[in-house]
Structure 1
């Protein structure tokens, strides 16, 4: 693991402590885990430290954090951005993906689930769960693997494997089960999810 900083932007002490514990368990020293509960300070930390992973708690200010992610991805397009939000906030989650977020954790997640989602990002992939997959697939046009995201009013063209993964995840399978069912590596499955997110972001841009 590269010795580069990680930035946590949250005003919830319990969440902050949990994330620090997970990250240190992955091998990150405490001194490389930067924390703030203000977006203004986060901008300064970004300029001085160039963290490779930024985790943003959307409870700070949903609208402001969306704008923050959008600006961040323009300045540091290679930065890995994750968001923390409630499990029922699917529309908000999709909006963050549209502006460049590549992963997420839910407040309801267990420590093991948070760990798995962060690992997915660090491997170069992205997580997804059945509700988000269903949300995207709910805008299917006829029988073609083309999804129309209503917020964008543009079609999202999926490859055959992207479409298959979304369908399997929407039935409740986790990504490891999808990998086994499709005889594909977990690494490739997660990378394909990340590719799908990039397509959604490109429509917004």
Structure 2
């Protein structure tokens, strides 16, 4: 599935707020190029060609290739944080909220696997100031999950001795779905989300 096809899945349209239309097309083209070739092997000419534009037209909207990557990364990390914080602050027990967070986070990485690979795995290609910004968003996402686990431990719902380590392991497990998920595979995004939610509850020693 291409980044362009991902934008029509459900109501969550990752580039829907980007205007004008030419700027949105460039983001979609950049995602596809970065996912296929890697950031460093992709040129602005590659991106412009995929978007049906000239390289000169690209520079009207984005000054550099890195600016495109930063925009993609910022939108993706903002969405990831929104998903996790919304689930973490929702109703129910800590176990129910943690399971909801994992299901939603995994589903996003499965349904948007092309986009998510770029968002999650091209961090080191960002300029230092942009990398610092994105790392801060990642820490906030980590904090949202850690908070739920801490609440579960305090309430006697979970038996997790290393909460920070468990938090990192959970997020890594969810993010890695973007590497291997295949829309033509045996399991749907929802099924993988449910499976991972069950696995995570086992990881934290949730009481049945």
- The normalised TM-score by structure 2 is 0.31
Larger radius of gyration: 2
Looking at secondary structure, tell me which structure has more helix per residue: 2
